[in-house]
Structure 1
Amino acid sequence: MNIIKSEKVKLKAKRAFIKKGTCSRTFFYLLNREFGFPKEDEEIALDPLAGGILQQGYQCGMLWGASMAAGAEAFRKYGNQSQTIDISIKATQHIMESFKSRAKSIECEDITNCDFKSKFGLLKFFLYGKPLTCLKLAGKWAPEAIKAANEGLAINQSNLHQHSISCASELLKKMSGNDEEIYMVAGFAGGLGLSGNGCGALAAAIWKKGLELNKKEKRKPSFPDPEMEKILNVFYKVSDYKIECNKICGQQFKSIDDHTQFIKNGGCQKLIDVLAQS
């Protein structure tokens, strides 16, 4: 990407952030338009992942948005096949490496230095000008996010696994998601790109539920959102009040094969079943 185009993307990212209001929706919006396929309802439904999954402070919403856009593009390019899951996860890993290089952490709480779970944390976010910090980060990272997504999507297909599984995609199947939606969330696997952080299945459930409600009611985003909080509460009860993938699963997945075998062997099945019904 040349300097002029890069500066235009930075400006576009800042304008989109101001207009859309959340980091998660902004990056889904930006990359969707970079790929040439806007998805307004799906973008709005991603609002609750801002603040690190319902403002819990985990992975930055920019990552969830960029990962979903990469998953959607992977589906358009490669279709309904297990290799598309492989590509989506690898593209998400490229995106996360790029983001960590820019922001030094993938965690919202580290970046903002705010605990949104407390009233003081939310107050601190605004009093100390943290929205401006996020706005600047969005502008700086936007060209890098596009580059990382494209690089991840262009990987050598001869090295891909034939029967990859994503926990988030398995959940979407149980929630009657269409093929595009199933692959759109594939990169959420293993706590987003197998990083072991905030649960990707939880994030997928929140997004899908939000999408269903938005299509029925054309709801406006609210923080907190009672419907999404219900999902989180159900999740916590089943996960023994853990939210990080590596703690829930008792391991850090070293490869897509590791994650695939874990799910094939019934790992997280109860969690997926409960989330699908929430």
Structure 2
Amino acid sequence: MKTNETKAKQDAKWVFLKKGTCSRTFFYILNREFGSPKEMEEQAIDPLAGGIARQGYQCGMLWGSSMAVGAESFRRHDDQGKAIAVAITATQHIMKSFVSRTNSIECEDITRCDWSSKLSMAKYFITGKFLSCFTLADKWAPEAIEAANEALSQEQPELAQNPKSCASEVVKKMGGSDEEMVMVAGFAGGLGLSGNGCGALSAALWKTVLELVKEENWKPTMSDPVSENILNTFLEATDYEMECHKICGKRFTTIDEHSEYIQNGGCAELIDVLAKS
């Protein structure tokens, strides 16, 4: 463990330079820790950098880490419901670790950059502010690994409901595999039930780009019409709300509460819209 954590601290910034986005960097680093690299899946998470298609919401490091623990949960648990629940719980644990380091999960709070503005982005890079993200990656990588391993090893409490994740339901409707459904499960309820930027949207972005990556028809660029189209479709469907708690009209305090909401048709129309986008 210590060797892996030391390696992560030593090379996180170099991985960041090579991979290009915070989201892919942490998906890769944790996958490497678990001994299960997923090159195409890692590449497909690029659009979640900048806080969901550069919207400034949850940091891409969290999306990447969540997907990695989801993938590992799938490998450890034959029962899909348990794998989904563990992925959500592990995501929550990772988020607590991140907040203890940064005091916020929001990209815009951390970077002080409006990623939707070309001028703001230019200032971010020209002034060297981007180096703060490399520093954060270096400092948090070993902590992320520790948090992930701790969470995945914890005993999962009994649940009254069959665990569901809005993000998993989107991927399922898009023809995704059981593994892909569990990989995105931690996105539930605005990432780990935190009520922030929509996890179902993030799942749709990732799955759409994954299929393009598989077809060798994807090249990440600052101008991303694929993600922009999905984002615009989503915003039209939600009356231009991005945050889960505003879209749902509530915050989910437990996995059971979120599962019951999805089981009873909560966000069904939005899930359909995203799956078809």
TM-score (norm 2): 0.97
Equivalent residues of 2:161, 2:256 under 8 A apart: no
Q: 1:158 Cα deviation (Å)?
A: 4.5
Distance 1:118 1:88 in 2: 34
Q: 1:84 Cα deviation (Å)?
A: 1.1
Q: Could you tell me which residue of structure 2 aligns to residue 188 of structure 1?
A: 187
Distance 1:130 1:79, change over 3 A: farther
Q: 1:130 Cα deviation (Å)?
A: 2.0
Aligned pairs for 1:234-249 within 5 A: 234-249=233-248
Q: 1:11 Cα deviation (Å)?
A: 1.6
Q: Does 1:8 align with 2:7?
A: yes
Query: Size of the alignment, in residue pairs?
Result: 277
Aligned pairs for 1:184-263 within 5 A: 184-263=183-262
Q: 1:8 Cα deviation (Å)?
A: 2.4
Bigger mean CA deviation after superposition, 80-89 or 194-203: 80-89
Q: 1:120 Cα deviation (Å)?
A: 1.7
Aligned pairs for 1:10-25 within 5 A: 10-25=9-24
Q: Could you tell me which residue of structure 2 aligns to residue 147 of structure 1?
A: 146
Equivalent residues of 2:80, 2:182 under 8 A apart: no
Counterpart secondary structure, 2:130: helix
Equivalent residues of 2:66, 2:186 under 8 A apart: yes
Distance 1:208 1:270 in 2: 18
Q: Write the deviation string for residues 248-275 of structure 1: whole angstroms up to 9, x where unpaired.
A: 0011111111111111121111100000
Q: Write the deviation string for residues 70-99 of structure 1: whole angstroms up to 9, x where unpaired.
A: 000000000242111110000000000000
Distance 1:78 1:162, change over 3 A: farther
Equivalent residues of 1:13, 1:138 under 8 A apart: yes
Q: 1:184 Cα deviation (Å)?
A: 0.2
2:274 partner letter: L
Distance 1:85 1:104 in 2: 27
Counterpart secondary structure, 1:130: coil
Distance 1:82 1:257 in 2: 11
Distance 2:201 2:31 in 1: 23
Equivalent residues of 2:4, 2:33 under 8 A apart: no
Distance 1:140 1:252 in 2: 31
Q: 1:117 Cα deviation (Å)?
A: 1.1
Bigger mean CA deviation after superposition, 10-19 or 123-132: 123-132
Counterpart secondary structure, 2:215: helix
Aligned pairs for 1:90-169 within 5 A: 90-160=89-159, 163-169=162-168
Distance 1:161 1:128 in 2: 52
Q: 1:165 Cα deviation (Å)?
A: 0.5
2:155 partner letter: N
Equivalent residues of 2:59, 2:105 under 8 A apart: yes
Q: Write the deviation string for residues 104-153 of structure 1: whole angstroms up to 9, x where unpaired.
A: 11000000001111122111211221221000000100000011111111
Q: Could you tell me which residue of structure 2 aligns to residue 174 of structure 1?
A: 173
Percent identical residues:
63
Equivalent residues of 1:51, 1:57 under 8 A apart: yes
Equivalent residues of 2:5, 2:142 under 8 A apart: yes
Equivalent residues of 1:86, 1:161 under 8 A apart: no
Q: 1:159 Cα deviation (Å)?
A: 3.5
Bigger mean CA deviation after superposition, 225-234 or 6-15: 6-15
Q: 1:9 Cα deviation (Å)?
A: 1.5
Q: Could you tell me which residue of structure 1 aligns to residue 71 of structure 2?
A: 72
